[in-house]
Structures are given as C-alpha cells and as structure tokens.
Structure 1
Amino acid sequence: MADRFNKVLILDGRGHLLGRLAAIVAKQVLLGHKIVVVRCEGINISGNFYRNKLKYLAFLRKRMNTNPSRGPYHFRAPSRIFWRTVRGMLPHKTKRGQAALERLKVFDGIPPPYDKRGQAALERLKVFDGIPPPYDKRKRMVVPAALKIVRLKPTRRFAVLGRLAHEVGWKYQAITATLEEKRKEKAKLRYTKKKVVLKLTKQAEKNVESKIAKYTEVLKQYGVLV
C-alpha cells in the first residue's frame, strides 16, 4: 500500500476536459496520491473559444478595489490555470478532520495534522506546460473519464487552454511549442533505438532457446517464468 502512494502518477493533459480532469486529480491527491500533469497547454474546455475568453476576461476584472496586489491573483500560464482549478476543488483553507466510530477522535479546536489536509494535497500535485525532464522519458497515463473524445459530442465546440492563456497574457506559447518539437524529435530517435535493441534481444533469446530449454521448464514449474 505504501509503494502505491509513493509512486508518482504522470498524466498527459492533452485532450482532457479541464473540469473533469481537475475533479479526478483533486480527489486522488486528497487520498494521498502524488500526481504530475504535463502538457497542460493541450487541455480542452467545453464551449466555443470566444465565450470562454469572455468568461476569463471577466474573471481578470475581479480584484481588490483598494489594493489589487492583495489578490485575487489571476494566472496566465495553462499549468497554473489548471492548478488553480484543482485548488478550488480542495479544502485548501478549511480545517477538517474525519472521524468514525471506534476510530473517532475528538478535540477542542483542530490540532495538527488534521488542519492541513487540503494544503498537503496541493503539495502532492505538480503541473507543467510541455513535458520537461525527467518526465519526458517516463510513461504517461490518460484519464478516460475526462477525455474530450469520450465525454464531448463531436459536434460540440471546445476551446484549447493554451490558446486561451496566450490571448489573456501568457508569453511562452511559442517557446513551449519549440521545446515540444525538440522533445518529439529526441523521443523519435530514442524509440527507434529501443526497437533495434528489442529486436536484437529477441534474436539473442531465440538463439539460445534450445540450450536453456531444460532450465526454462524448471523455472516454469516454480512459477518464476510464465
């Protein structure tokens, strides 16, 4: 169980719906999982682009009238927009602890560690634009329940978070795209090399198959080989 929670789950945000992905990620980080979300600029939002842009521009106008530097703070990077969406689904300010029957604990006030559940959950979440090292060489997952192609009708309009962020002030769209192209070229070369090595490995196994047949049978009997 401990290994399951120590393992970092890497999600590829491209092609996912913003709210659905954020809801699933929020629940999982609350449960204790560590999650990294890459390619946040490829996240989709249902509804046409112009409508979503107007909504975000209206959001940008919300500020403290006398001293805007005190907040609320409006992020422009797609990764931070997604992070803020997840934060809105977490009890990052509330102080709550749960209790049940024999395991029930009651306190006057709310002592640690029960006072920082939402904050601790946010610390287990990392978000990125593009796919930086070392995550570019690791397996990435998707969340089927949040994929646009699964959840949104083909005729429905949608907006891409990267374009929306760019039009409200994000300055690194071109840089991120350039770095992504370089990453894809490196990944292509790495995969070609991997296929060659895999082919040679299979050939080597085939060459010695007859010599190690008796050992293979013994290992299969004890369940070492399947």
Structure 2
Amino acid sequence: MMVIDADNAVYGRLSTFVAKKLLEGEEVTILNADKVVVTGSRDFIINRFRERREIGSVRKGPYYPKTSREILRRSIGDMLPKKKTRGKEALHRCKVYSGFPEAFKGAQVVRVEKAMNRKVNGFVTLGEISRLLGQKV
C-alpha cells in the first residue's frame, strides 16, 4: 500500500503517476487533496472548472464533482480504462482524502518529486476551486 502526501503536487502530474501505479496493481491512498495545485492563470482555471460543472443537465449528467477529493479521484479515473474490468478494479484501489486523517499519522508517507510544484505564483489549489464551485463545509 502506497500513501501519498499531495501537498503542493501538480494536479495532472500526480494523477498520471497514481493512475500508472493503480494499473500496476498497487493500492494507493492520497492525503491532502485540498492542497493539490492546478497551474496556470487563476481566472482561466476557475472558469474552466465552472464550465465543466455547468455542462449537462441535472437528470442526464455528466455529473462533475464539487469537492477537491472527488475532483482528484475523477481525474485519476479518467486516465484509467474504466470500461474494462482492470480499470474498474484499479479505481477501487484508489482512496483520496481531503485532509490528513488520524489513521495515517504514523504511516510511511511518500511525496512524488516528479509532481511537485516549483512555481511561486500562477496556480490555484483544489481546495480553493472546490469552495468556489460551492462545496458545502
């Protein structure tokens, strides 16, 4: 089982890393999904997530999530072959938490160096995005 601290990790890079690990058969748990970073212009990013949220209808979908942990889990799921059995099983092995639960205080936590954000400005966290999308606290 791999426990990943997603604090200051870039959204897409982290998602691809986790998707590959899941397809290899590993069980992955991601902590601090609120602190995952989406790089780019703040206004562009927020508008893009709002547009995704507004696509479709209430009855038919697609249903785009509001919470940071569900947004991250969906991006990982989009990188897996969900229509095939191995993709569905891989997504079941993925657990995402928005904070740092007490159960993982003593666990061996890994940071994905390839996915770390090195920018000082020009990014938005998933926590901010989810609050702007209307996440209930």
Tell me the TM-score normalized by structure 1: 0.58
Q: CA deviation at 1:136?
A: 2.4
- The CA distance in 1 between the partners of 2:72 and 2:55, in whole Å, is 18
- The CA distance in 2 between the partners of 1:132 and 1:53, in whole Å, is 28
Alpha-carbon contact 1:42-1:161 (below 8 Å) kept: yes
Question: In the alignment, does 2:99 pair up with 1:130?
Answer: yes
Query: Structure 2: which amino acid aligns with 1:163?
Result: E
Partner of 1:179: none
SS in structure 2 at match of 1:126 = strand
- The CA distance in 2 between the partners of 1:13 and 1:19, in whole Å, is 12
4+ long deviations beyond 2 Å: none
Q: Give the counterpart of 2:71 among 81, 86, 96.
A: 81
Aligned length in residues: 137
Query: Structure 2: which amino acid aligns with 1:50?
Result: D
Tell me the TM-score normalized by structure 2: 0.94
Q: CA deviation at 1:137?
A: 2.5
**Cα RMSD (Å):** 1.2
Partner of 1:167: 132
Q: CA deviation at 1:131?
A: 1.1
Query: Structure 2: which amino acid aligns with 1:170?
Result: Q
Q: Could you list the runs of 5+ residues in structure 2 that have no partner in the other structure?
A: none
Query: Structure 1: which amino acid aligns with 2:22?
Result: V
Show the 5 A alignment for 1:135-214. 135-149=104-118, 153-154=119-120, 157-172=122-137
Structure with more of its chain in helix, by fraction:
1
Alpha-carbon contact 1:23-1:89 (below 8 Å) kept: yes
Q: Give the counterpart of 2:27 among 16, 21, 34.
A: 34
Q: CA offsets per residue over residues 97-138 of structure 1, 9 Å max, x none?
A: xxxxxxxxxxxxxxxxxxx01001001100001011311231
Q: Could you list the runs of 5+ residues in structure 1 that have no partner in the other structure?
A: 1-7, 96-115, 173-226
- The CA distance in 1 between the partners of 2:59 and 2:76, in whole Å, is 23
